[in-house]
Every structure is written in structure tokens, then in C-alpha cells.
Structure 1
Amino acid sequence: MAEVDVVADDEAAPPPGAPTTDLLSLHESIAGVLATQGDWRRAYHHLKSAFDLARAGSLRDTLTSSYNRRYLDQWLHGPAVEHRGPPGIAIALVDLDLFKGVNDTFGHLVGDRVLREVADLLQQGLPPEAFCARYGGEEFALVIPDVDAARAVRIADTARIRVARHPWRRIRPGLSVTISVGLAHEIHAQPDRTVEPERQLRRADTLLYMAKRAGRNKVAYHDKESSQMIPRAMNTAESTGT
């Protein structure tokens, strides 16, 4: 039987942006052909590429293509977060405001598109080591390592403004989307101090709840003295104009 001709490895790659499932199938198919030809070295190379693609896909959210909760948990409990010193690490929990109303009014297909676009907007402008992960439902987590508290607040508020100013009406007339953010910053200055990512996540969740209670479309964070909001929540006199 004549050998099946197989293109070189670098020629087999589909163009950028090809779906991961297509790449996975391609590597598996090429590996099978190479194995029948006895080219075990190149077959192994393609099988390893298929494995790496499958693993990477398991760490991505299928709807938004951002990282998923599994990746977030692995990162927070991995060596990357252990014994970090100054300037610290920030974790922001982000929730879409009144998202149920978006689904009820415009339908779930529009809701899915909103989630995808919010994920893209949240990832814009993040520092190189930072990432966005879908935390669950309409909630996302931003993890920003090696950042001081002031810069973390600026990054979170810039994301809030970016979402609020996005031209949502081009998707559906009358559509508007805002987010609320709870931002917890922590410095692990002592070399022997144990990092507690769950505690930091709980702090971020508590602050997110405060941002919701303060009127939504806000960033809640804790400075040296007390919890703060951006924009600043109006008191009763200000809201009535008296």
C-alpha cells in the first residue's frame, strides 16, 4: 500500500482563529496517519499538541472564551500566589446589574451576547499578568497580581466606565448594561504568612454586595480607614437636591 502523504507540521496548522475543536481533530488525525507510517516521533508531537489543546480548552468558559472557575481556583491555590509581597494582589468580583431584566426583555440570545461583550471589555487594559475569569452566571473575577491598591482601584473603575459607555443600543434599542464591582486588595508582606485566597474572595464578595446596595454601577473597595465607593453614593439630601 502506498504511504499517505502528510504535510509538514508547520503546514498543517489552520489559520489563526480556527476553533479549538478543529485544531484538536486535525492533530489527532495527523497523529493517526503518522502512526500507521511508523513515524512515531511526529505522531507523538501531534498527540501532545492535541492534549495541550484539550487541557487549555478545559480551562476556558465555552460562552465567553474567558478563563473559567476551574482556572481561577487553580491559580489562586497554586505557587503563583504564594508568598507575594508588595505591592500586593487585587481580586475584583464583577456582577452585571439587573441582568435578569436583560434576559426577560431582550431574550437569552441577547443576554449571551452581552456576557461575551462584557468579558471582552473586562479583559481590555488589564496588565500582562492579570486575567479575567467567569466566576459563575453573570459574575466575573478579575485577578490583578503585582499591583498597589490605588492602581487596582483605577483599573476596576476604568472597566466599570468602559462597560457603562459601551454602545449597547447597537445590539438592541433600549439596551443598557452596567456592572458593580467589589475590589479586595491584599499585601502578603511577611515571608511566612499563609495566603488565604478564600478570605480575599469573601471580602470582594462582601464589597460587591455593598456596591449593589449603594445603587449599582459602582466600585466598592476598602481603604485604610473604611469602605469607599466610586462613584460616591449620594446621601438623602443630595439625592433630593436639598
Structure 2
Amino acid sequence: MISVKEYFVNLGLMITIIYLTGFFYKQFLVKINDRLKEYILVLIAVFTGWISMIYGIHLTSSVIFDLRFIPIILAALYARNAQQLIFTGLGIGLMRFTFGVTDAAWIGFLNVCLISMAGLILSLVSRSWSYQKKMWWMVIGLNVINTAFIVAFGVLPAEDTLKLIMPIVFPINILLSLLLVWIVKDLTMEYVYKLELIEKASIDPLTQLYNRRAFMRYYNDYTDSEEEIPPFSVAFIDIDHFKKVNDTYGHIFGDKVLQKVSSIISENLRDIDIVARYGGEEFVVILPNCAEEDAIKVMERIRVVLAEEPLMINRISTAITVSVGIASLPDIKKENLLMAADKALYRAKNSGRNQVFSADEEMQLEMI
């Protein structure tokens, strides 16, 4: 008689490992490089298969069954490359020898390798399939192969196969596989939705740039370090006479201007630079590894691009200029950087606008 208790122990252990892996992934794995992340996930999958073997399910007094094939199903569905799936199968197969190098161990090793190869073939064939179709094929297909292998190699007598495997074990394994796949899918979607919410909370909906909150998070990441910070610049960019644009053409037209200006700013920055809408018609840029003279060149390029060619929006041509204030490390202390850039911006505006001003030591003394 099959032990229901042992089935629940196996299932409980797998669910526990899945949830702990989800927690571990969100807290730690997401921050490391992809290659190391893949190796760790393979080790967790191999460990899960091994634990399932330790807490095996007694089909008869002499034959023990387990759920080691389920981590392979999960790997076939979620592995980013074939290497992950192959290593998962080999690892679980080799762990079978920790219980002794016997004929049964070799059969178990071959069984896991066969399931892994079938999973790899299915994952390649099903690349264009919907997730639901792929899931059903993986779960049913790999369970069929696992059961067929057990029958073909005579692991159980034919009578026990007809009494236990086909009417009881096979359907239960299908259900357990579906349950565990569903749990992993649910955890994955929850994590993706969380990332999307975090991303949406960090993005200005009009310009699709970072918002002020996201900017401050990045700015603090750069400046809170106790180590010496390399050359680093911050620039405030303000659209000149933007209120007049809104009053003349309306707020919808003004929104289009903000979108155009934000696009031009982004196009003239490096990939490592961070640009955000700071509020209203004001933008702010973080320029890592960028000394003052280089930051001035970048901002001057943006100013010239905007000043030389009027923006054409809804068949209306309007001249747009910007004023820019820059502050740079190490010339300005990091605790004064934002305030110094802001003061440089207002000096540019008070000096006639359409200019780039850089904060100097005199401005820093004014803030003390």
C-alpha cells in the first residue's frame, strides 16, 4: 500500500524549498551576475531532487519511489539555457549514487538523464508555444517517460505496475507536478508584478524619465559611499519661459514640449547617465565619472541642439531654450552638490537664460 504520509512529506519538502528559493532569489540572487545565479539555482534543483530521494515513497516493502523528476520539469520550463537543464539532470542522477553504486542506482541515473534529454528537446520544440501548452506537454510528457522507463526496465513486477503505477502513482504524480509548477508560476508572476510596480513608481508618466523619488535613490547610492567618489557631476536643466508656452498654446501643447525636450536630453547622454524629471519644467541629470569640464561640454551640446532648431509640434513651430546649472565633485563637497547645482541654475537664469553655469567655490561658501 502506498504511504500517503510519505507523499505529503515529499510534497511539503518541495513546497518549502520552492518558497525559500523564491525568498532567497528576491533578497540575494537578483543582485548577483547571471552566471553565478544559474549555478546556484542548479544546485538548489539538485538538492531538491536529492532530498526527495532521502524521503522516498514506499510503493512496496522493497521498492521506493520519489519525485526527483519534478525539479527537472521545472528546469525544463524555466531554465534560461540548455546547460542549466543538463546540469540539473546530471546532478540529480549522480546524487542517486550517494545511496550506493548498485544496478538500481544506474537505472535511476539513466532514467533521470533520459527525462532531462526529453525535457531539453521539448523546451527547444516548444519555444513558440504558449506557456499553458508548454506546461501541459512538459508535465504529462515527462511523467509518461518516467513511468514508461520504470515499466520497461522491470523496476516493479508487471502486477504491481498494473495495480499501483497506472491507476494510482501516475495520476498522483501528474497532479503533484501541476501543483508545484503552478506554485512556481505564481511566485514568478508575483515577483514580475512587484518589479513592474516598482518600475512604474519610479517613472514619470508624461516623459517616461525617472521621477524625483527615483533620482534621489540613485543620487544617494552614488554619494552615500564612505569611499572616495570619482569625478561626478549633477546638472539641473530648466526650460526657459515655459509658463509663457503653456499660456500661449495650452497645457497639452506644453506637455508635448516636455516630452520633446526630455527625448533630446536623453539622446545626448551616455547609457550610464541618469536623467529624471525633477518637477514641472525642470530636469536633473547624474553624470557618473564625469569631471566639471566634460559635464559643461555635454550640457552645452544639449543647450545648442535645443536653441538652434525650433520644436515642431502639431504644425506649430516654437523656439525653446534651456538654462543649466552644474555642480561637480571634487570641486564641490558632496553634501552641497544638489544645492550648488540649483544655485548655478538660477544664476544662469538671472544672467539672461539660455546659458550653462557651473558652481564654483564662491557658491559653496554662500551655502555655509
Normalised by the size of structure 1, how large is the TM-score?
A: 0.71
The 8 Å contact of residues 75 and 81 in structure 1, kept in 2 or not, is answered as no
CA contact 2:232–2:290 (8 Å) conserved in 1: yes
User: How many residue pairs end up in the alignment?
Assistant: 190
What residue identity is the alignment partner of 2:306? V
Q: How far apart in 1 are the matches of 2:360 and 2:339?
A: 16
| Percent identity for Structure 1 against Structure 2 | 31
Amino acid at match of 2:296: V
| Cα offset, 1:148, TM superposition | 1.5
Moved more, 41-50 or 111-120: 41-50
Offset of 1:225 from its aligned partner? 8.7
DSSP 3-state at the match of 2:318: coil
Correspondent of 2:201 among 52, 58, 64: 58
Which stretches in structure 1 are left out of the alignment for 5+ residues? 1-5, 12-36, 228-242
Within 5 A, what are the aligned runs for 1:136-215? Answer: 136-187=279-330, 195-196=334-335, 199-215=336-352
Asked if the contact 2:223–2:334 (Cα under 8 Å) also holds between the matched residues in 1, the reply is no
Distance in 2 between residues matched to 1:127 and 1:88, nearest whole Å: 15
Shift of 1:86: 6.2
Question: How has the CA–CA distance of structure 1 residues 80 and 203 changed in structure 2, closer, same or farther, with 3 Å as cutoff?
Answer: closer
In structure 1, what is the equivalent of residue 268 of structure 2?
125
Match in the other structure for 1:216: 353
Kept after mapping to 2: 8 A contact 1:86/1:148: no
1:132-162 Cα distance to aligned partner (Å, 9 max, x none): 1011111000110111121111011111112
CA distance in 2: counterparts of 1:105 and 1:71, whole angstroms: 32
* Residues 90, 143 of structure 1: 8 Å contact kept: yes
1:42-61 deviation line (CA, Å, top 9, x unaligned): 12111111110110110000
The 8 Å contact of residues 63 and 112 in structure 1, kept in 2 or not, is answered as: yes
More helix by share: 2
Rounded to whole Å, the distance in 2 between the matches of 1:129 and 1:80 is: 16
Question: Is the Cα contact below 8 Å between 2:234 and 2:338 reproduced in 1?
Answer: yes
Deviation at residue 187 of structure 1 after TM alignment: 2.0
Counterparts of 1:172 and 1:81, CA distance in 2: 47
Q: Distance in 2 between matches of 1:79 and 1:104?
A: 39
Contact 1:95/1:138 (<8 A) preserved: yes
Q: Which amino acid aligns with 2:202?
A: L
Confirm whether residue 47 of structure 1 aligns to residue 195 of structure 2: no
Unmatched tracts of structure 2, length 5 or more: 1-128, 135-177
CA displacement 1:61-95 (0-9 Å, x = unmatched): 01100000001111122256524646411100111
1:110 — aligned with what?
Answer: 253
The one-character-per-residue Cα deviations of 1:99-128 (angstroms, maximum 9, x if unpaired) are: 000001011110000001111111113122
The residue that corresponds to 2:130 in the other structure is 7
Number of the residue aligned with 1:71: 214
Per-residue deviation at 1:173? Answer: 3.2
Structure 2 CA distance for partners of 1:115 and 1:132, relative to 1, 3 Å? same
Alpha-carbon distance between aligned partners in 1 of 2:295 and 2:304, rounded to the nearest angstrom: 14
C-alpha contact 1:83 1:195 (8 A) present in aligned 2? no
TM-score, length basis structure 2: 0.47
Whole-angstrom distance in 1 between the partners of 2:324 and 2:331: 22
Aligned residue type for 1:56:
E
1:195-219 per-position Cα deviation (integer Å, ceiling 9, x unaligned): 42xx211101111111111111100
Secondary structure of 1:52 counterpart = helix
Counterpart contact for 1:59–1:71, Cα < 8 Å: yes
Partner-residue secondary structure (3-state), 1:78:
helix
- Of residues 73-82 and 40-49 in structure 1, the stretch that sits farther from structure 2 once superposed is 73-82
Q: State the structure with more CA Rg.
A: 2
RMSD: 2.7
Distance in 2 between residues matched to 1:226 and 1:130, nearest whole Å: 25
Q: Which runs of 4+ in 1 moved over 6 A?
A: 224-227
